Structures are given as C-alpha cells and as structure tokens.
C-alpha cells in the first residue's frame, strides 16, 4: 500500500494554496490519499508546527508521510528537507525548527536535503517562483516519494543530524515539594493551556486526583495568576465555568475552564516565558 500524505500548514482555506498543493500531488499520482492535519497553524509559528507534528504522528500507520509547510524563510538558504523518524515516519518540511519535538521526544535517524534539480515541479511556469515551496517543492517531492517514483535516498543528499535547526526545550523540574514547568502549547479551540510536565511527575510529587493544588503562573518573571485549583482526570469534575488542572491527551498536566476558555478568561498564553509552579 502506498503511504498516506498528511498535510499541515498555516495557509487556511481562504485562498487556493492548499488546493494547488493537492493538485500537484494528484498530478503525480491520482491514487495517493491526502489527509488534512490542520491548516490553522498560527502564521509563521514554526514552534506550533513542531508540536502539532508530535501530537498526532504516532496515531497514523507507520510509513505515513507528513508534509509540514510553515515557512517564513521560504526562498532563502534555509534547507528544504525530508526527515525519517526513529519510529518509521517521514516529514517533508523546511528545516526551521519544525522538527524540534520529534527530534527530542521521538528521535530522527536520518535527514536529507531535497535536490531541487530532480524533485522540484517543472513545466507549469513555476521555475521562477521562490515563494511557494509548499506547492513546487514539498508537495511534489512528497508525492514522488509516496508513489514510489523515488526512494528516500533519491530525495537528495543526507546531512548531519547535528545540523538540524532546533528550538531549546525547557525541562520540567520537581524540587522542595513543587513541580515547575512552562505552558508549552495551547488548544486554540477550547482555550486550554498544556504544560510540559508529564503526569507521572505529578504523582511522583505526591499529587493525586481530587487534590486542590496551588498554581502560580509567571510571565517574564512577574506573577500574573495565583489560585488554588482542583486536580482531576477530566473536565466534568469541575463546576461549569470553574478553572481546573487535568491530564491531557498526551499525558501532560494542563489547565482548563470547564465549558469555557482558560487562556481567554485569565489572559494567559504559552511559550518559554510563561512559567508554571504547582504545590499542595
């Protein structure tokens, strides 16, 4: 069976960019199956692109090819790449930080730079275009790889893994009865905020479902939120409109408002300068 292609971008559906990419894929091989991951990555946000790849990849069949196009450096010397993960997936993406979470939490075993002389779209009056590698390079190369026209080795030359562009990832810590981390990502639809703290660390610290924990949030070192919140396994254990601590789908500690938005209600966001601290 040919690999499935899963696409994520920051393009939205407001114009024809996604349609053009999918047209390129089908022009290479009409049998290829295309699935939308998301086209609602925040504009230019390669950090979110990285996290979303990690979030969903393992739930797809091994060998699935992910095409991630969040590319503020398009047309510049940044590398266009195809990475192979330790658990057997492929990622076609600009090498601009979008591989960070997979590199750290899954592992990348090989990465190749796309050879534009061979694996770039030709014959559509696109040779002079530098601003749409999602169509002309990433989609075309991914389709050729998925269809079997090229092997992974024919994508282009391999380059050292230590040259992959990575964001620094904060590590959670446990000390003096406190568990500390950061808000690593948000849920843009429901307004939940996800920390980088694994659930296992909470239990190791002696925190259990049903406990009320003191939460302190600091932004750039300044306290912006401080309250006692219920820690439970799901939203319905809190009253409607009540803030709570819960275990998210990736087994990480997160914050929510039951049937509301935690981020909007308390004007909080995610990133390395949003620090969180929990204690009994």
Residue range 109-162, pLDDT digits in tens: 999 999 999 999 998 999 999 999 999 999 999 999 999 999 999 999 999 999
246 and 215 within one domain: yes
Q: Are 176 and 153 in contact (CB under 8 A)?
A: no
* Residue whose C-alpha is closest to residue 67's, from 47, 49, 40, 44: 49
34 and 145 within one domain: yes
- Stretch among 121-125, 197-201, 226-230 having the lowest mean pLDDT: 121-125
228 and 89 within one domain: no
DSSP-derived letter for residue 29 is: -
The per-residue pLDDT of the chain, averaged, comes to 97
126 and 181 within one domain: no
Q: Which two tokens stand for residue 140?
A: 């075309």
138 and 118 within one domain: yes
* Tally of domains within the chain: 2
User: CA–CA separation, 194 vs 153, rounded Å?
Assistant: 37
Among 128, 163, 198, where does a domain finish? 163
Among 136, 163, 190, where does a domain finish? 163
24 and 153 within one domain: yes
Domain range holding 158? 5-163
What percentage of the chain exceeds 70 in pLDDT? 100
Q: What CATH number should be reported for the domain holding residue 128? A: 3.40.50.10790
Looking at residue 229, what is its pLDDT?
98
Helix ranges (H only) for 116-245 are 116-119, 133, 140-147, 199-204
220 confidence band (pLDDT: 50, 70, 90): very high
154 and 25 within one domain: yes
User: What is the average per-residue pLDDT within 162-190?
Assistant: 96
211 and 269 within one domain: yes
Q: What CATH number should be reported for the domain holding residue 274? A: 2.40.30.90
Is 241 a member of any domain? Answer: yes
Among 109, 133, 163, where does a domain finish? 163
177 and 145 within one domain: no
177 and 155 within one domain: no
Is 168 a member of any domain? Answer: no
């Amino acid at each position: 069976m040919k690999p499935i292609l899963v696409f994520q971008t920051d393009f939205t559906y407001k114009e024809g960019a996604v349609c053009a990419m999918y047209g390129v894929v089908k022009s290479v091989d009409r049998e290829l199956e295309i699935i939308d991951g998301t086209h609602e990555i925040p504009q230019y946000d390669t950090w979110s692109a990285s996290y979303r790849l990690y979030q969903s990849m393992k739930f797809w069949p091994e060998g699935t090819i992910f095409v991630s196009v969040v590319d503020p450096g398009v047309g510049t010397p940044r590398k266009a790449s195809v990475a192979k993960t330790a658990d057997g997936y492929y990622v076609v993406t600009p090498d601009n930080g979008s591989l960070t979470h997979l590199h750290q939490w899954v592992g990348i075993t090989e990465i190749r730079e796309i050879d534009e002389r061979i694996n770039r779209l030709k014959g559509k009056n696109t040779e002079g275009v530098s601003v749409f590698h999602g169509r002309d390079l990433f989609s075309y190369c991914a389709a050729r790889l998925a269809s079997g026209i090229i092997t992974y080795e024919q994508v282009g030359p391999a380059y050292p893994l230590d040259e992959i562009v990575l964001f620094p990832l904060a590590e959670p810590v446990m000390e003096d009865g406190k568990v500390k981390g950061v808000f690593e990502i948000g849920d843009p639809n429901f307004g939940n905020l996800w920390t980088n703290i694994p659930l296992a660390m909470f239990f190791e610290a002696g925190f259990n479902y049903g406990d009320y924990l003191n939460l302190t949030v600091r932004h750039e070192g300044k306290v912006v939120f401080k309250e006692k919140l219920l820690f439970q396994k799901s939203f319905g254990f809190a009253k409607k409109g009540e803030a709570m601590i819960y275990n998210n789908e990736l087994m990480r500690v997160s914050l929510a408002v039951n049937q509301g938005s935690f981020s909007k209600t308390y004007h909080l966001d995610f990133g390395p300068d949003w620090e969180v601290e929990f204690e009994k």
